[in-house]
Structure 1
Amino acid sequence: MVKAIQVGLGHWGFSWTKEVIPKVPSIHMVGYVDANPDAVKRVQTELGIDEKRCFLSLEEAAKGTEADLVIATLRTEAHYPVVKQALELGFNVLVEKPFASTISQAKELVALAEAHNRILMVSQNYRFQPAPIAAAELIGAQKFGPVNLVSIEFRRHAPSQGYRYWDMPDPLLADMSIHHFDLMRMVLNDNPKRVSCRTWNPAASPFGHHPIGVATVEFEKGTIVSYRGSWMSSGPVTPWAGEWTMDCSEGEIWWTSRDHFMGKAGPDRLMTRARDAQPEAVTLAPIEFADRTGTLAAVAKVIESGSIPARFSSGADNLHSLALVQATILSASRDGEWVEIAEVMA
């Protein structure tokens, strides 16, 4: 059992407390932390958490418990100071994405985790789904040879779907596209080299910042990804992971994942088509722990075993996903000029 303290019990954190953490048997909760007494009171009254396990600061929780892991589920701007404190106190850390607001902060946290010999994992929950895992394995095995072109479409109409973060800066690239960017890296087993991106805000949009964007991403091995995302689309809704077409030299892989919409849920889907042949549906292997439970189970297993599995989203690995987000934002600010990932990483 991995003993854990959760820090951040607000709207999203409460979802972790109620819906995610109880589903992972290897996690034993010893503490819950939030600086807001109302948030602490809510987990006590609604979930029956013992008040002796509740604290107003991580420092208090560290003194009052014995734990191996901090689960950081706070707002983005609080990630850096809390993760830094947790690592300095000797905890392993699982933190929601993005794990820092800047590359320099992220690099500091990665170095701190290494210096203290602790695990720092970023909860890139889209990695823990059957379709992207299967796609990564097909690409890795060169099922249809080298990848020529990847096309990704993400379409949602935020005003009719209960979206509420109208004033968030970069609501597409920073809040949503980071999932797609991280999946690009995982499925291709490659890192981005440079990107060109344009974003805009259409007429009658309730967004304060740009909810639509297109990007061309060039990867180090030469693969080009064409990405199109919109929070203001009137077209058919895509699953949260988007719709992926991966054109290879000897065939095509099409897949989509996280098909949840307005109370409905559908399975991941993946199809293959050899060149000049008919498409074939692929039966996807179920996974024991999916989505956010997958990230939590994964970090618990690493802490217990000391072994890092393939496709593990460590802080060091996730630097490249964060850098791609920052590079697309920078490119958009420069009217689509190509931005080298190396520039952002520096």
Structure 2
Amino acid sequence: MKKVAVVGFGFMGMTHTMNIIKNPELDLVAIVDIETDEIEKKLTSKSGNFSTGSIESDTLKKIRKYQTLDECLEKEELDAIHICVHTNMHYIMAKKALECSKHVFLEKPFTLNIKQAEELIALAKDQKRILMVAHVVRFMPPYMKLKQLIDSEEYGKLKFLSLSRFSGIPTWGQWKEKQKDFGSSGGALFDLVIHDIDFVNYLLGLPEEIKCNYLPGELSNHDYISALWLYKAKGIHVRIEGGNTFHTNFPFQAGYIATFENASLLYTTFKGEVIQIATENSLLEIAAGDAGDGFYNEIAYFASCINNNIEPIKCMPESSLQTVQLCYNHL
């Protein structure tokens, strides 16, 4: 088993923690959070825009806690570190971990600074350590099914794809403070809509043209995004829409519509674990799986990579860097 630590115990830190605990290849030995005394209390506080599971408080009591990554690195023999802090700390934390020869699983977005991301990629190569960014949608069963249908052309060639992702403005954890530090998080473009930007890049590669409109919100100048990606050579149009310019308790919603030559598909989190498939003669439903399983799947994939010392081909850091650049291409 590989010994790992989670840095940052907010919504994503808790999500990583519970899925590491479930994984037989990983041993969670430490949690790093500036509020070590509050870690167990966070289990009952609002965290995130949807539920990703739960952790027993007795389980947490057995895991050592540190206020700083430096102290954790000094006292623990670690193989890998999961970094789940706010975006503006990604570079600092990832660099420190890589310099100490630890594998790094870094929450998205990679960094907001292109040169910093390039530096981390080079550092990981120099240290011969695996660096992977957590683009969870690549590992969510309903989206994996869409990729399989596109690749197999079971319903013919893809002609049109529309993806959406909406959430109320985040106020849990330190997000309220981020409203006072306008723009530092990257806003909805880099924190929320990036999921679909990354997934389309993963599916189809770079478009020939991007047309985009965006609106400001509480966190940045681009908290609502409506974009059209044109793949002229492939004859595919892609629409991406999303944001968090809504009241706090607005229900989270994500999904896609895909039109192929011979069928149209609909998936939405409101409908649950099914994909609806419409043809000229029928409307049927197929099992989609639970999108929430993506969190376990991506961590299991990272664990397999570090255990077998192989590159994370499904989610290379160079691809994650390209996704950050694509986000900037919407501005």
Shift of 1:50: 6.4
For 2:128 and 2:168, locate their aligned partners in 1 and report how far apart those are by CA, in whole Å: 44
Shift of 1:172: 2.5
Shift of 1:225: 0.9
* Residue identity in the other structure for 1:249: E
For 1:93 and 1:207, locate their aligned partners in 2 and report how far apart those are by CA, in whole Å: 27
For 2:100 and 2:277, locate their aligned partners in 1 and report how far apart those are by CA, in whole Å: 48
Q: 1:144 aligns with which of 146, 155, 158?
A: 155
**Equivalent in the alignment of 1:225:** 238
**Equivalent in the alignment of 2:288:** 284
The range that moved more, 87-96 or 61-70, is: 61-70
Task: Please show how residues 1-346 of structure 1 align to structure 2 within 5 Å.
Answer: 1-9=1-9, 11-12=10-11, 15-16=14-15, 19-34=18-33, 36=34, 39-43=35-39, 47=57, 53-158=64-169, 164=176, 166=179, 168-169=182-183, 171-186=187-202, 188-201=203-216, 209-219=221-231, 222=234, 223-232=236-245, 240=253, 242-257=254-269, 259=270, 267-274=272-279, 276-284=280-288, 290-308=293-311, 312-328=314-330, 330=331
User: What is the aligned length?
Assistant: 308
Identical columns (%): 22
Using the size of structure 2 for normalisation, the TM-score is: 0.79
For 2:110 and 2:85, locate their aligned partners in 1 and report how far apart those are by CA, in whole Å: 10
- For each residue in 1:191-229, what CA deviation from the matched residue of structure 2 results, as whole angstroms up to 9, or x when unmatched? 34442211124xxx7666443221112348643212222
* Residue identity in the other structure for 2:193: S
**Equivalent in the alignment of 2:49:** none
- For each residue in 1:23-80, what CA deviation from the matched residue of structure 2 results, as whole angstroms up to 9, or x when unmatched? 323221223334x3xx123347884656993334333322322211011111111100
**Pairwise CA RMSD:** 3.3
For 1:155 and 1:13, locate their aligned partners in 2 and report how far apart those are by CA, in whole Å: 18
For 2:310 and 2:218, locate their aligned partners in 1 and report how far apart those are by CA, in whole Å: 46
The structure-2 alpha-carbon separation of the partners of 1:182 and 1:207, relative to structure 1 and needing over 3 Å to count, comes to closer
**Equivalent in the alignment of 1:338:** none
8 A contact 2:167–2:251 mirrored in 1 = yes
For 1:225 and 1:309, locate their aligned partners in 2 and report how far apart those are by CA, in whole Å: 27
The structure-2 alpha-carbon separation of the partners of 1:40 and 1:103, relative to structure 1 and needing over 3 Å to count, comes to same
For 1:319 and 1:189, locate their aligned partners in 2 and report how far apart those are by CA, in whole Å: 16
Q: Secondary structure at the match of 1:174?
A: helix
8 A contact 1:6–1:72 mirrored in 2 = yes
Unaligned ranges ≥5, structure 1: 260-265, 331-346
The structure-2 alpha-carbon separation of the partners of 1:256 and 1:306, relative to structure 1 and needing over 3 Å to count, comes to farther
8 A contact 2:132–2:312 mirrored in 1 = no
* Residue identity in the other structure for 1:4: V
Using the size of structure 1 for normalisation, the TM-score is: 0.76
For 2:127 and 2:220, locate their aligned partners in 1 and report how far apart those are by CA, in whole Å: 41
Shift of 1:95: 0.9
- For each residue in 1:222-254, what CA deviation from the matched residue of structure 2 results, as whole angstroms up to 9, or x when unmatched? 4321222243469xx7854x2311122233232
8 A contact 1:136–1:189 mirrored in 2 = no
8 A contact 2:31–2:63 mirrored in 1 = no
Shift of 1:155: 4.1
